[in-house]
Amino acid sequence: MARTEAWMPARTRHLRLVASAGRAESRAHAEAASRRVVALLIGSTVFLTGGGLIMVLSASSISAYAQYGSSFVFFERQAAYAVVGALALLLTSRMRYEIWQRLAIPLLSLTVALLALVLHPSSGIEAYGASRWIALGPITIQPSEMAKLALIVFAATVLARKWNRLDEVAHVALPLVPVTALVACMVMIQPDLGTTLILTGCVFLLLFVAGVRLRYLVVSAAVSGAVGLALIFSEGYRRTRFLSFLHPSADPLGAGYQLKQSLIALGSGGWFGVGLGASRQKWMYVPNAHTDFIFSILGEELGLVGELVVLLAFSVLLYSGIRIAVRAPDVFGRLLAAGIVSWFGLQILLNLGGVTGLLPITGVPLPMLSYGGSSLVASLAAVGILVNVARGPARAAPPGRRRGSRA
């Protein structure tokens, strides 16, 4: 008996050492996987941002010289915003993502206040028939870009806190539906249908990821689709855009002009393009060549090969974000990452669909490639949040003790 008692503690110590070694190995594996995913995410982001700077310089050189007497105006502004965005990425990547739950209400309140300022005649700046910008000294900001991140953070916070009551539709709908409707309506009044679609689409996808019953999602999708069609046909310019999407050749010099010139640019590029900086369509043929339709100029100058490389970079970005969401250590991190990936994916889809004629033109920029300071800074800040969520498993408890796991 004495011998058995002496042997048992030794065996117990051995088992504990084995278990400790297993946990250390699992932790090391999680850290290595996290580093690989972060490397893919940062690599694709740097490539797209750097490529965006080059393409903004090329696509905007003619229009910038015509407007300001210098071909580098838009490039210099975009480069300055890229520096600010890089600092925002660094900051958000070092902030523990859990803090965004405490910032959800203040960030959303600030966003709503800025959206209200945009609509005020004394503070909002109107361009191309829309009032979407606010001037702060020498710079302008677009609050609707901040609204994407603010609404995603708010929705992820609400769904994480109501995680065990997602089957109760009324409980989930309050306050998520009224807040989403408020933000979407304020953006729609600007007017900005493309961003409104992204905002509501992100919330819908978050509800899907959270596991809300499918019948509720089908009903909400049907209602949203009906409202969307009503909004399209309620304004003449939106109705014209939609009809020109259905019949692009009906008015090639009017409503269908922009799409026609975009397709000419894409088709002129061939396999390898006409050469960087040698685009003919950027000579005032493609409207908004350095913003919404920068992919058309990229296709003309770099050809199908260049387009595929950019699409591959976007695919790596989205793949990294999905991996981060799947491996997030808690519910909030998973929903936050999923919301950001939904934002990027929907915006890429709407932009490329409009440029190629597969979807109606909505006027949303291509993330990190198109000219636009607010869009670039917000996108890079969101990438920083993804980086911090990716580092979560390395500092989280063992898998069996993850916070926020749903029974």
pLDDT in tens, 190-225: 888 899 999 999 999 999 999 988 888 998 889 888
Instruction: Average the pLDDT over 36-48 and give the result.
Output: 97
Query: How far lies 203's CA from each of 173, 311, 352, in Å?
Result: 11, 25, 21
What b/e readout covers 290-302, taking b as 16+ CB neighbours within 10 angstroms? Answer: bbbbbbbbbbbbb
pLDDT in tens, 298-312: 999 999 999 999 999
- Residue 52 in contact with residue 369, Cβ under 8 Å? yes
CA distance 164 to 201: 23
Q: Token pair of 341, please?
A: 């990936």
CA distance 148 to 378: 9
What b/e readout covers 319-330, taking b as 16+ CB neighbours within 10 angstroms? Answer: ebbebbbebbbb
- Report the chain's mean pLDDT, rounded to a whole number: 87
pLDDT in tens, 82-108: 999 999 999 999 999 999 999 999 999
Instruction: Average the pLDDT over 11-35 and give the result.
Output: 64
236: pLDDT strictly greater than 90: no
- The DSSP bridge pattern shows strands 130-136 and 124-127 to be antiparallel
What is residue 281's three-state secondary structure? coil
CA distance 91 to 298: 31
What are the boundaries of each domain within the chain?
33-397
| Three-class SS of 354-380 | HHHCCCCCCCCCCCCCCCCHHHHHHHH
DSSP 126: E
Phi and psi at residue 69, in whole multiples of 5°? 80, 10
As a whole number of Å, the CA-based R_g of the chain is: 24
pLDDT in tens, 272-287: 999 999 999 999 899 8
Q: Token pair of 311, please?
A: 């699409």
Q: Is the backbone peptide bond immediately before 175 cis, with ω within 30 degrees of 0?
A: yes
Q: How far apart are the first and last CA of the chain?
A: 44
CA distance 373 to 138: 13
Sheet holding 139-141, edge to edge: 124-127, 130-136, 139-141
pLDDT in tens, 375-394: 999 999 999 999 999 988 65
- What local confidence, expressed as pLDDT, does residue 2 receive? 47
170: pLDDT strictly greater than 60: yes
- Residue 348 in contact with residue 239, Cβ under 8 Å? no
Query: How far lies 35's CA from each of 93, 207, 327, 389, 392, in Å?
Result: 13, 29, 13, 12, 11
**pTM above 0.75?**
yes
14: pLDDT strictly greater than 90: no
